[in-house]
Structure 1
Amino acid sequence: MQEKSLPRAAALAPSPIWWRRWELPTWGVMLAIYACWFALVWFHASIPWPLLMLGGAYVLAWHFSLQHEAIHGWRSIPRWLRTALVWPPIGGWLPFELYKRSHTAHHRNTVLTYPGEDTESVYHRQADWSGYSRPWRAVLLFNQTLLGRLTVGPILRLRKLVLIEFGKLRAGDFRDVPIWLGFFAGLAVVLGVVSGIAGMPVWQYYLIFVLPGLSLGLLRAFIEHRWGPTPGERTASVESNWVFGLLFLWNNLHIVHHLYPQMAWFEIPGFWRRHRERLLAHNGHYVFPGYFDIARRWLLKPVFVPAHPAR
């Protein structure tokens, strides 16, 4: 399907309704995230650990979604302000500046899924895949199941970050050192609140909040992209409920986001409903009714072998 058959960008003009124009839903989400985070940390000793883990994971994944919104949207406020509002590293593992740089590169739709070019690709070059040991291929295939993505996925993601960042240092590239110094300074403040004020051990915060939060974020990314002959066919949509929709700020309707990345998150569901058939024709009907359907299909089965068909 040709791009001209898609809704025009003019359809994204700012709404005359004042609360939409000033993006008050985004402000509400921001306040809810930080309030819920502080409450969970402050009352951690009174909350059963399964509920604490569920709440902590949701809040940190929600914060990551807010950071994503600040990269693309929230244009009613200056860039420096929206950066400052989402910068606090409560997620505990990735500086916002590095995420912004990597994710912006990911939005070059013509290279989506290409290993070495798409910064968020899970594919590997065929020559690399053939050279991997059987145990390593088994690990990567397990990561292509939903169970694997939620369990070993966070470890593999952290491993990738460490390899990339230490690779820069070994190559004599120290340009990101100030970013990391700022990150660790902010993280020290966050962990000071967590441990020094609220009395929650740091190891517990990472075990109950950070790793489950990263895992929950990987749920959204699990099905988002696949190889396809055209860029449009490489991006999925998951028609989930409000629990996941709010968590991911409707980025689960991912084809809308890749076509119109500056669209405010709260405009996406209505836009999807109005133009669903045209969007599905564009992405080759790469759509799922929800995450439970995805779990039913791929909980223990690889969604695809991550050797890129074209590379």
Structure 2
Amino acid sequence: MTSTAPSSTAPRRAPSGTRRRHWWWHFEVPTLALAAALYGAWAALLWWHAALPGWALFLLGGFLAQLHSSLQHESIHAMRHLPKWLRHAVVWPPLTLWLPYPFYNRGHSAHHVNFHLTHPERDDESAYHSAPAWAGYGPVRRWIYMANQTIAFRVVLGPFLRLWKLACFEAGRVRGGDFSRLPTWGWHALSVAPVLYFVIGICGMGFGEYLLYFVYPGMMLGSLRTFTEHRWADTPHERVAIVESNVVFGLLYLFNNLHHVHHRAPTMPWYEIPVYFRRHRAEVLAANGHFYYRGYGEIVRRHLFRPVFTPVHPAW
């Protein structure tokens, strides 16, 4: 298989009517303002956490944790008129604790290489396994990976599977004599320390509570977004979904639910994506082979207990 270049119809600049002429758009002030609001809301929720019921903390904490992950994704692709150090610093605080930002940055950048998209070894975000690897799995491991193709498993237990895979990967590198990633983990630990100091030492929330009310539901919401974001197809454009959801999920994911638009124009700021999609809806859906869902409710109804696809890659 050969790599397929982006379509000539893909947007090369901001769509008409939203082109950034004023400094407000040039420096993507909406994104910076959103980041400031996010950190303020996160601090306020922690400060007054004792006054809220657990279900409210779970929903709000998870929303803020996933929104922070969405901002990290935005910093990888957009905010190009800001110095690199600044756009990374804006999202550096590890509110979700578990994944160092440099690893996410590097892996997600590789994910956007057309040839790598859905590759079981070259795409860190692929849910596929190569046929030889699948043949070598035992029945329990195959059952787990097949169950992970349902919403019920992916959202509830998928976060634990993801952490286990990360731990096994990192431990395997160390056992093999590769210590190149340890400095990044060291910097990550230093970054986590002030976050936990604020959570535990200043706001008085227990570590376990933070995991339960922020980290875990944030990972659950991230698992929902990525559940059926990609599938195998002969051309890269047809491997990327469109989920036309409401404004709440749109803001939560910074409109990355309109994922094919993002892959067509990765540097397009989040607030321009829905505008472009509305104006070019038919063209976008034709280009991605109508790989489309009308909201996350449809995805849940169709795949709560039914696998979205068999995770054995048909080409590798």
Bigger drift between 242-251 and 11-20 goes to 11-20
Give RMSD over aligned pairs. Answer: 1.6
Separation in 1, partners of 2:224, 2:50: 28
The answer to whether the 8 A contact 2:14-2:268 is kept is no
Is it true that 1:283 corresponds to 2:304 in the alignment? Answer: no
Is it true that 1:178 corresponds to 2:175 in the alignment? Answer: no
Gaps of 5+ in 2: none
The answer to whether the 8 A contact 2:72-2:91 is kept is yes
Is it true that 1:69 corresponds to 2:74 in the alignment? Answer: yes
Is it true that 1:243 corresponds to 2:271 in the alignment? Answer: no
| 1:69-93 Cα shifts (integer Å, max 9, x gaps) | 0000012311101111100011110
Separation in 1, partners of 2:284, 2:77: 20
2:107 to 102, 105, 123: 102
The answer to whether the 8 A contact 2:129-2:312 is kept is yes
Could you list the structure 1 runs, at least 4 aligned residues long, displaced by more than 6 angstroms after superposition.
none
1:188 to 187, 193, 204: 193
Note the C-alpha offset of 1:4.
Answer: 5.0
AA in 2 matched with 1:278? E
Is it true that 1:138 corresponds to 2:164 in the alignment? Answer: no
Is it true that 1:167 corresponds to 2:172 in the alignment? Answer: yes
Is it true that 1:210 corresponds to 2:215 in the alignment? Answer: yes
Q: Which residue of structure 1 lines up, in the alignment, with residue 12 of structure 2? A: 9
Q: Which residue of structure 2 lines up, in the alignment, with residue 230 of structure 1? A: 235
Separation in 2, partners of 1:16, 1:286: 34
**Secondary structure in 2 matching 1:9:** coil
Q: Which residue of structure 2 lines up, in the alignment, with residue 34 of structure 1? A: 39
Note the C-alpha offset of 1:173.
Answer: 1.8
Separation in 2, partners of 1:305, 1:295: 17
Q: Relative to structure 1, is the Cα distance of residues 269 and 189 closer, same or farther in structure 2, using a 3 angstrom cutoff?
A: same
Q: Which residue of structure 2 lines up, in the alignment, with residue 256 of structure 1? A: 261
Q: Which residue of structure 2 lines up, in the alignment, with residue 44 of structure 1? A: 49
| 1:274-300 Cα shifts (integer Å, max 9, x gaps) | 111111111101011100011110011
Gaps of 5+ in 1: none
Q: Which residue of structure 2 lines up, in the alignment, with residue 299 of structure 1? A: 304
Percent same amino acid among aligned pairs? 49
Bigger drift between 95-104 and 273-282 goes to 273-282
Note the C-alpha offset of 1:131.
Answer: 2.5
Note the C-alpha offset of 1:18.
Answer: 4.0
AA in 2 matched with 1:287? Y
**Secondary structure in 2 matching 1:306:** coil
1:272 to 262, 273, 277: 277
Separation in 1, partners of 2:91, 2:26: 20
AA in 1 matched with 2:294? P
Q: Relative to structure 1, is the Cα distance of residues 204 and 4 closer, same or farther in structure 2, using a 3 angstrom cutoff?
A: closer
Note the C-alpha offset of 1:15.
Answer: 1.6
Separation in 1, partners of 2:314, 2:6: 25
- How many residue pairs get aligned? The number is 311
AA in 2 matched with 1:33? L
Bigger drift between 277-286 and 169-178 goes to 169-178
Separation in 2, partners of 1:64, 1:136: 29
